Chain A
Amino acid sequence: MRLPTLRFPVVGLLRGLLLVAAVLGVLTLAARGISPTPDLVLVIVVAVALRSGPVSGAGFGLLAGWALDLVPPGSVHPGLTGLLYAAAGALAGRWRRPGPVGPVWLAFVGLVTAVATEAVRVVADLAASLPVDWPAAGARTAWTTVVAAVVVPVVLTVEAGLHRRGLA
């Protein structure tokens, strides 16, 4: 008698662990005096969106944004970060390409998504007449792009390997 094969959602588990690590990293790195910190959560959202497309990217972005909204200290207005990262996931997912893609393309998608996300923050703060910290915003965008160029290919490679083994 042949036992049914159990398909454990390893990719889902991997994405969950990456998200938890990214959220805790973003929140605690600044408390350790590392500033400006790269947007690690956005990097993971970009990786998932490039792997699974705009709809899954938007859904994962919404989940990731809600995590940042709820894990202390959270955000002043819960839900806004979720909507921002959902839009970022949908944006990055539109650049999904079938088959292997080069690191330059991945870095470009990371750059565009990081710039677009930071631009929304800048416009929101300018609309509220808040002073924009331009050097910090620029450094955060640059750091996020660099980290995305390094981390996204690794995540995509690991997920592709899990998919080939039937663990996706």
Chain B
Amino acid sequence: MLATLLVVVVDLGGWGWPSRLHSAGAAVFGPVLRWVGPSGDDELSRARAANVRLADELRQARESATATSRLSPLLASPDLQGASVVAARVVAVGSPGASGPERVTLDVGRRDGIEVDQPVVAVDGLVGRVVDVSSWTSDVLLLGAADLRVGVRSGSMGVLGMVGAASSGAASRTGGELTLTVVAGGSVAAGDALVTLGSPGGRPFVAGIPVGTVARVDDPGGTAARTAAVRPAVDVTELDVVGVLRTVPRTTPRPASTP
């Protein structure tokens, strides 16, 4: 019991080494879960995997078109060049908290080219990011987990903000809803679509992945930060086939635009 208390204190203190226990657990139990979990070797699973791939190709095409129309060629980011999608099946869902599951296990791992911090998507949008990888399985921190916040653009104006699970103050949220915190000066309205802002090298998130839709804007109530309730694009409690985006870190300088 004392050893457990020590591990909890060390982990909450941010020293980090207790998280390596996950790697040991994944190495031992990962193959068991691949065997016990639902198999993806049927026609429906293959069709769903194809849907995930097609949805990602469509998203990339849209993102490319948007970037071209807005700031071409300055924002023709090479982040997506060379990226590929690995279809995966959810074989285990972590013991849920009161706000829902925070982690899931996929049946793909290091041997499939999966690495930590790669983004995970479903047909409808963002699922989360890879946080642990073993030889045959990988663990994903889901959008809606307390420790995951995502930079987003909202609406047609591309207002910047952060989306996470935690709400501020008296703002009420129903189960599964997220909170958007808009950067100072920005404004959003109900119905605005949110997409990922993107990260350097496409990790942990590439730009343009649907995150959700603004459900309602909170009453500011004297606070400086403008917040809104967000309905996520993907219901993480009903995940089946997902895709891991194998992004390739940029190695070439970004081309400069000429007048």
Contact = CB atoms under 8 A, between A and B. Distances in A.
B56 interface: no
B94 A136 contact: no
Contacts of B5: 79, 83
A80 B95 CA distance: 12
A76 B103 CA distance: 8
B156 to A, nearest CB: 28
A24 interface: yes
Nearest to A25: B36
Interface string B219-259: 00000000000000000011010000000000000000000
Contacts of A58: 1
Interface residues of A, number: 49
Contacts of B36: 24, 28
A28 to B, nearest CB: 5
B8 interface: yes
Interface in A63-91: 66, 68-83, 86
Contacts of A133: 98-100, 175-176
Contacts, number: 164
A129 B179 CA distance: 10
Interface string B1-30: 100110110011000001101101110011
A73 B168 CA distance: 28
B173 interface: yes
> Interface size class for chain B?
35 or more
B9 to A, nearest CB: 9
Interface in A15-58: 24, 26-28, 30-33, 35-36, 39, 41, 58
B6 to A, nearest CB: 8
Contact of A129 (B4, B134, B167): B167
A75 B95 CA distance: 7
A136 B100 contact: yes
A62 B4 contact: yes
B33 A27 contact: yes
6 tightest A-B contacts by CB?
A133-B175, A70-B25, A131-B173, A73-B103, A30-B93, A27-B92
Given A130-B146, A131-B165, 10 more contacts: A32-B37, A33-B240, A35-B237, A35-B238, A70-B22, A72-B26, A72-B92, A72-B134, A78-B22, A131-B175
Interface of A: 24, 26-28, 30-33, 35-36, 39, 41, 58, 62, 66, 68-83, 86, 118, 121-122, 124-126, 128-137, 140
